[in-house]
């Protein structure tokens, strides 16, 4: 890796460049339900009105997704910001692989479909296209039948975050019809177990291994509350727990005559069909790791296990995967390390992997241990609506200390509030999370002034800016029977901020930022503010 070239026009600053990522904070399309606009964001608004700013695209093709109808997400967003270019991402790669037939021609699929036992599919049960897509699952079930597999069991993780918060039955009923149509000529495919994605299986970053344990007991051992159908489970939990949303639905096991229909046994095959890596690594470890101390696995069946994609390219996890992830090279982090730039990456647990692994192009570890510091602030293990401020103050404490130390040239941080609290659908909590984060922006501005730094404020995608469901034709808020707005818990398609606060500006770029760009332009922007020439093939900087 060659070092970056110094810019001949850059006049230098006293302090470092600070990239502040307000996770899940965009510019809302509707006045109702825009928690960012409704919150008292005094510091963010002041920075927007006084500093050069523009709007960046953070969804669809701008971050490598198949179409502009696809919501951005934190993983592809941080990939784009850290890589400086747009790569085709998980959903697009999987769809292409299925359409071309490459997935089914690969050795991994051949090994999985060769089972003489049951083929199990575990994954997020929606078409949100952030972690998974039901079309991918259906295609694999159909092909498994063609390949001679006789028994398929599906272990569903209800969504309610990337799609409507109570949309489970909208997906369940058509899928059951699909299975009934496929169940001919001795083929037997059925739903075997499930639960909400935030209750079982889909933990990340080691925040709550008990979630994975509950999923393991549910999917693998078939242990848990039994129901005759998945629909019965959903309806029962909704009656018993008023207001529960899909992501929090409790675990269930489908049983006949008191016996689970889909416990995982020796000789079976298992596909975890999520293509996104962060919430796939822990359940993968439970299946694959020989040494495992996170919980007691009890009976660990001997199975052929495959992930939809390679979830960790450095650790090569899982050992078997159906579709290769994008090959991302020459990231901003690698260039900065080659150039001798001292870097700090920091967030709390929920987004720590985003400012490290995803920002570095799905790479675990550092490029240079002597130049890079990664710091994780432990997240609270409670529902985010109960602690909507999260750890933004502790993150800010550490960043202010780092600014004053003189040890860093580039600092990147993520405030998870707008995304993690936004996913709860609790509007008051989201307002609180925004105002808590705004207080920290004020603290950072003061420290940037003191140390002569440059602060770039942006986001990876929208979420908290679009908290109510709206009628797509009229734009009117969709209301529940009691007249209150129906909460929206998924990401938005809205643009995100890009504010360049440079208190010691010296005229080395114009004060009018470029428009119409995507968040992949942030890499070149930060490199330019560090006094270097961005790589020629990086997407254009917002600075001119």
Q: Residues 6 or more apart from 517 whose CB is under 8 A from it?
A: 54, 56, 57, 539, 540, 542
Backbone φ, ψ for residue 301 (5° rounding): -70, 150
As a whole number, mean pLDDT of residues 255-274 equals 98
Of 323, 345, 371, the residue at which a domain comes to its end is: 323
Please report whether residue 34 resides in a domain. yes
| Number of domains into which the chain is organized | 2
464 Cβ contact list (under 8 Å, min separation 6)? 24, 25, 26, 35, 36, 417, 418, 419, 421, 422, 430, 433, 434
306 and 338 both lie in a single domain: no
Rounded-to-5 percentages of helix, strand, coil across the chain: 35, 20, 45
C-beta of residue 345 within 8 angstroms of C-beta of residue 373: yes
- The Cα 381–Cα 531 span in angstroms is 41
Instruction: State yes or no: pLDDT of 119 exceeds 60.
Output: yes
| pLDDT value of position 113 | 97
In a domain? residue 263: yes
Residue 336: pLDDT over 60: yes
- Compute the distance between CA of residue 98 and CA of residue 475 in angstroms, rounded to an integer: 35
Q: What are 20-59's pLDDT values in tens digits?
A: 999 999 999 999 999 999 999 999 999 999 999 999 999 9
Q: Residues 78, 112: one domain?
A: no
Residues 30 and 178 in one domain: no
540 occurs within a structural domain: no
Domain match, 279 and 377 both? no
- pLDDT for position 364: 86
Q: Is the pLDDT of residue 271 over 90?
A: yes
End-to-end CA distance of the chain: 26
Domain match, 18 and 99 both: no
Q: Are residues 351 and 426 in the same domain?
A: yes
Distance, in Å, from the CA atom of 537 to the CA atom of 133, rounded to the nearest integer, reads 32
* pLDDT for the residue numbered 100: 94
Domain final residue pick, 323, 350, 365: 323
With 90 as the cut, is the pLDDT of residue 375 above it? yes
| Alpha-carbon distances, residue 235 vs 132, 166, 227, 239, 435 (angstroms) | 24, 11, 11, 6, 36
Residues 284 and 370 in one domain: no
Instruction: Tell me: do 75 and 101 sit in the same domain.
Output: no
Cα separation values, 240 from 215, 244, 249, 250, 413, Å? 21, 9, 11, 11, 41
On whether the CB atoms of residues 72 and 460 are closer than 8 A, the answer is yes
pLDDT band at 314 (very low <50, low <70, confident <90, very high): low
**Given this model, what pLDDT does residue 313 score?**
60
Kindly list the catalytic residues.
Answer: 74
- pLDDT, mean over the chain: 95
Reported as a single tens digit per residue, the pLDDT across 82-113 is 999 999 888 889 999 999 999 999 999 999 99
Boundary residue ending a domain (307, 323, 339): 323
Structural domain including 205 reads: 91-323
Per the domain annotation, does 538 fall within a domain?
no
């Amino acid at each position: 890796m060659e070092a970056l070239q110094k810019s001949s026009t850059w006049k230098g600053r006293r302090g470092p460049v600070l990239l502040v990522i307000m996770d899940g904070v965009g510019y809302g399309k509707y006045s109702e339900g825009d928690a960012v606009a409704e919150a008292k964001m005094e510091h963010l608004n002041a920075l927007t009105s006084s500093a050069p700013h523009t709007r960046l695209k953070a969804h669809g093709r701008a971050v490598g997704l198949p179409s502009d109808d696809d919501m951005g997400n934190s993983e592809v967003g941080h990939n784009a910001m850290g890589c400086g270019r747009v790569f085709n991402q998980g959903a697009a790669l999987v769809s292409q692989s299925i359409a071309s037939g490459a997935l089914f021609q690969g050795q991994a699929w051949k090994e999985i479909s060769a089972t003489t036992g049951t083929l199990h599919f575990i994954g997020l049960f929606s078409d949100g296209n952030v972690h998974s897509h039901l079309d991918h699952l259906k295609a694999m079930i159909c092909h498994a039948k063609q390949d001679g597999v006789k028994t398929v069991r599906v272990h569903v993780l209800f969504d309610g975050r990337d799609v409507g918060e109570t949309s489970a039955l909208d997906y369940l009923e058509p899928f059951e019809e699909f299975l009934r149509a496929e169940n001919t000529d001795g083929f037997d495919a059925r739903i075997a177990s499930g639960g909400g994605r935030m209750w079982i299986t889909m933990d990340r970053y080691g925040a709550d291994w008990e979630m994975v344990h509950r999923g393991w007991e549910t999917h693998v051992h078939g242990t848990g509350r039994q129901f005759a159908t998945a629909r019965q489970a959903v309806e029962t939990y909704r009656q018993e727990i008023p207001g529960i949303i899909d992501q929090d639905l409790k675990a269930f096991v489908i049983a006949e005559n008191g016996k689970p229909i889909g416990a995982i046994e020796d000789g079976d095959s298992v596909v975890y069909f999520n293509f996104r890596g962060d919430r796939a690594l822990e359940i993968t470890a439970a299946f694959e790791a020989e040494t495992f101390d996170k919980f007691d696995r009890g009976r660990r069946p001997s199975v052929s296990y495959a992930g939809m994609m390679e979830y960790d390219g450095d650790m090569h996890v899982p050992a078997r995967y159906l579709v290769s992830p994008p090959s991302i090279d020459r990231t901003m982090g690698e260039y900065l390390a080659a150039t001798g730039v001292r870097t700090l990456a920091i967030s709390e647990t929920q987004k720590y992997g985003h400012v490290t692994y995803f920002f570095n192009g799905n790479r675990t570890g550092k490029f240079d241990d002597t130049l890079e510091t990664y710091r994780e602030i432990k997240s609270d293990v409670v529902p985010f609506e109960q602690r909507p401020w999260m750890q933004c103050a502790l993150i800010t404490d550490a960043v202010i200390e780092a600014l004053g130390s003189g040890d860093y040239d580039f600092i990147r941080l993520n405030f998870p509030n707008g995304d993690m609290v936004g996913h709860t659908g609790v509007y008051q909590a989201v307002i609180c999370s925004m105002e808590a984060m705004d207080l920290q922006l004020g603290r950072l501005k003061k420290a940037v002034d003191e140390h002569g730094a440059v602060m770039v404020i942006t986001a990876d995608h929208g979420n908290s800016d679009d908290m109510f469901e709206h009628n797509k034709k009229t734009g009117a808020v969709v209301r529940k029977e009691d007249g209150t707005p129906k909460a929206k818990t998924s990401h938005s398609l809205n643009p995100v901020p890009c504010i360049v606060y440079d208190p010691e500006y010296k005229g080395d770029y114009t004060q009018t930022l470029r428009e119409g760009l995507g968040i992949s332009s942030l890499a070149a922007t930060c490199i330019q503010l560090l006094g270097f020439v961005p790589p020629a093939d990086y997407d254009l900087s917002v600075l001119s």
